[in-house]
Amino acid sequence: MPFIPHTEDDVAAMLATIGAESIDDLFNEIPRELRAKGLNGIPPGLSEMEIGRLMQARARGDGQSLCFIGAGAYDHHVPAAVWQITTRGEFYSAYTPYQAEASQGTLQVLYEFQSMMVALTGLDVSNASLYDGATALAEAVLMAVRSNRKNTSKRVLMPRTVHPAYRRTVQSIVRHQGIELVEISFEREGGQISTDQLEASAGESFAALVIPQPNFFGVLEDVNALTDWAHTRDALVIGVVNPVALALLAPPGDWGETGADIACGEGQPLGMPLASGGPYLGFLCCQKTFVRQLPGRIAGKTLDLDGKVGYTLTLQAREQHIRRSKATSNICTNQGLLVTAATIHMALLGAEGLERVAAACHDNTQKLSDRLCAIPGVEPLFNRPTFHEQALRLPGPAAELLRSLAAQNVLGGFDLGTEFPELDPSILVCATEQRTDDDINSFATELQRAIVMRGEAQRPVEPKL
């Protein structure tokens, strides 16, 4: 069956029925200058063989570089079984499980995913996922403002140590709700949230404090002290966490005296490869007190009339299911296929396997940092403990050195100067469990060579006598 089953005669009949001469007439409200002029790089119809060769060529164009970039997207090993199972027809083509009697497999996967995320975060409830980590944080901010009964402020403290793309996404979404994001800077020596700036905000009213752990620089925040500080001021706490890091670090539910109120983050490290920019998966968990403000939906486990286990959607607070005025969000997909991959990935690794991955990532990043800092002029940017990533100061322009590394098929890190000009020249590097000692040595060798070559290029030429 063709992907588009309508013949030209079918289309002509439908257009005649509604009184339109062409499909273009259906879009006449859109000014012509705003319409796409065509899809560049998309060839005309090709055979299956030709399409296969074209896609292989484009995949090769991505290269096979050594990846030392993290910054929110991580090159983890994905067991072959994950996508062999995920792409089975039962999962791959499954639709939104409105009819529980026909969707037991999909609903069970959602239930298992929620159970695993609750176990990782130490909170009471998880939804069935969101688009990605950035939009999950935006939903968490909206949720916190709605949920805080002790403080009706629409101001939220947003540290600069939160991922820059997350901060931009949140701003784009919540500003239309009249919510103000109050920026909190970081300590230059440690790279953590500035307690001085927090204290400067102590006399003001705010609904929530966002705490990343680890933060964008890989630095570990003092989550216990920050959580208690916010709670004593009637503010909720939103934790932005890496699911792999949670295998080693204290979960948000254990932060401070009473734990964080909400936790969210990006699920890409759980079975999703780096695939030219996506797709990603957001997760959102909370304490039971706030469950009715949780966006999206929740799958539950129950017994049918015959006493058999069954799964169903138990809470659906999105506008497709209830009145718009009562809905908590207009999110309209739960990234079900990515949920399936993440669930299978976590089930295969188990708690011990995930802990081993986290430990290997930490060890490799430490090895990488030590090896690079042995190069003259390279040094750690911050002095606090880190996980997964390390910020390093360089002896020359970061962009220039990264281009030199890329020419040698080494993706050498994230240029921090693009988002934090005051830190230039510096990079953020990461080494997951996939990086070997040979990979790390290759990176160090190429970086040292690039630094030396740049120094020689800038050395003044002695005039000839």
Domain extent for 381: 351-457
Tell whether the model's pLDDT for residue 85 goes beyond 90. yes
Residues of the chain with pLDDT > 70, as a percent, come to: 92
Q: Is residue 266 part of a domain?
A: yes
Model confidence, pTM: 0.86
Residues 355 and 337 occupy one common structural domain: no
Is residue 431 within 8 A of residue 440, CB to CB? The reply is yes
- Collect contacts of 313-317 with beta carbons under 8 A, ≥24 apart: 313/97, 313/98, 313/100, 313/107, 315/291, 317/292, 317/293
Q: Is residue 30 part of a domain?
A: no
Q: Is residue 27 part of a domain?
A: no
Task: Provide the token pair at 399.
Answer: 């962009």
Write the single-letter amino acid at 138: A
Residues 122 and 261 occupy one common structural domain: yes
Q: Is residue 60 part of a domain?
A: no
> What pLDDT, in 10s, does the model give residues 133-168?
999 999 999 999 999 988 889 999 999 999 999 999
332 backbone dihedrals φ, ψ, rounded to 5°: -125, 15
Q: Is residue 54 part of a domain?
A: no
Residues 340 and 380 occupy one common structural domain: no
Residue ending a domain, choose from 304, 326, 346 = 346
- What is the rounded distance in angstroms from the CA atom of residue 58 to the CA atom of residue 43? 13
Q: What is the pLDDT of residue 455?
A: 76
Task: Provide the token pair at 274.
Answer: 């780096």
Q: Is residue 19 part of a domain?
A: no
Q: Is residue 46 part of a domain?
A: no
Residue ending a domain, choose from 304, 329, 346 = 346
Instruction: Give me the CATH number covering residue 370.
Output: 3.90.1150.10
Q: What is the pLDDT of residue 147?
A: 92
The structural domain count of the chain equals 2
Q: What is the pLDDT of residue 461?
A: 46
Is residue 347 within 8 A of residue 339, CB to CB? The reply is no
Instruction: Give me the CATH number covering residue 143.
Output: 3.40.640.10
Q: What is 140-167 written as a DSSP string? A: HHHHHHHH-SS----EEEEETTS-HHHH
Residue ending a domain, choose from 346, 380, 414 = 346
Residue 284 CB coordination number (10 Å): 30
Residues 363 and 321 occupy one common structural domain: no
> What pLDDT, in 10s, does the model give residues 393-441?
999 999 999 999 999 999 999 999 999 999 999 999 999 999 999 999 9
Q: Is residue 26 part of a domain?
A: no
Is residue 368 within 8 A of residue 390, CB to CB? The reply is yes
